[in-house]
Amino acid sequence: MKKLFLTFMMAVTALMAGAQPADNADQVLAVAKKVNQYFMAKYADPTVPTNVGRIRPSSLWTRAVYYEGLMALYEQDPDPRYIDYTDRWANHHQWTPRNGVKTTDADDQCCGQTYLDRYMATKDSKMIEHVRENLDLQMATGKLGYWTWIDAIQMAMPVYSKMYRATGERKYLDHAMKMYTWSRDTCGGGLFNVAEGLWWRDADYVPPYKESDGNNCYWSRGSGWVYAALVRVMGDIGKKDKYFKRLKKDFVAMSEALLQCQREDGLWNPSLVSPVTYGGKELTGTALFLYGMSWGINNGILKAKKYKGACDRAWQAMVRDCVHPDGFLGYVQGTGKDPSAGQPLSYTKVPDFEDYGTGCFLLGAAEYYKLLKK
């Protein structure tokens, strides 16, 4: 009886503070499934090329991010349709990076994350042989400076960590950490602002570049990509790995900074610290921050007392302001490189590509679902 009374009082307090009661885990999963079903129905044949401005194969990075989300959903909702949809896509592309094994472009390599996930489930070597050849060729160049934009860290770094996990060969993880360190500390003078805990998207945005209000330019989805990459790599290598502490330090610094940037309504602006330049609702960055914060709590890195409320508010805001009754997602910023891309955003605007927005949403939803199930 006492427990019921306390639960009731907590709900009343939340309502008085303007918050909504948190969804339960089943409600979160139901929304995730609805959003995914919308996408799978609209793009029923996963082998069909995309046609946004020009024809591109469906192994491009935007679609690869969708499959990251689908694999996360599958872990919580093991529907065989998801695997059939994934394997049809991957078989069509012969389990090969976009543009072949000689590519050094992180965007081309992103699809390898899902190929490696499927390998870990099946141990079918055909699923990773071309990805392995691709990474070996890139490593053989001896060059570290491939990730000149922070999106690339999410697109490719987990491919290396997953290859290490799949093969046990340390060279893949060692090389990934060298490339990450180059992007973090050397590219453009270093793309990670340690003092503020946020990332400049690429060398075009490091100081002396400033927004019109004099603040630095930190793009929500850009920092979201790095945040997601840290989660995925730390998850692959485990807490006992010598690199875990280094990545954890950056992850915690980012978490603290992002917590301060969250809007009152629960979302994050496209421009994290300069809302005068493209403040407003945006889903993809929000979903990636929800993903990271939920993972941090689930893995004992972030304190629930400090971060759980931010996760609750982010989820409630995405469902309230972005998810349509049929599963379409509004306020998804289109492709680009800074807060101005794809503007203005709205509840009804269709972005140039829908797939990566769905992938980001599914990553956040699946990890938040796990948080609520604890």
Query: What is the predicted pLDDT for the residue at 9?
Result: 38
Q: What is the pLDDT of residue 67?
A: 98
Please give the chain's pLDDT, 374 residues, in tens: 434 433 433 443 343 334 455 679 999 999 999 999 999 999 999 999 999 999 999 999 999 999 999 999 999 999 999 999 999 999 999 999 999 999 999 999 999 999 999 999 999 999 999 999 999 999 999 999 999 999 999 999 999 999 999 999 999 999 999 999 999 999 999 999 999 999 999 999 999 999 999 999 999 999 999 999 999 999 999 999 999 999 999 999 999 999 999 999 999 999 999 999 999 999 999 999 999 999 999 999 999 999 999 999 999 999 999 999 999 999 999 999 999 999 999 999 999 999 999 999 999 999 999 999 98
pLDDT score recorded for residue 137? 98
Q: How far apart (Å, rounded) are the C-alpha atoms in residues 364 and 291?
A: 4
By C-alpha distance, which of 353, 366, 241 is closest to 294? Answer: 366
pLDDT of residue 20: 54
Q: What is the per-residue pLDDT for 16?
A: 37
> What residue has token string 């330019």?
217
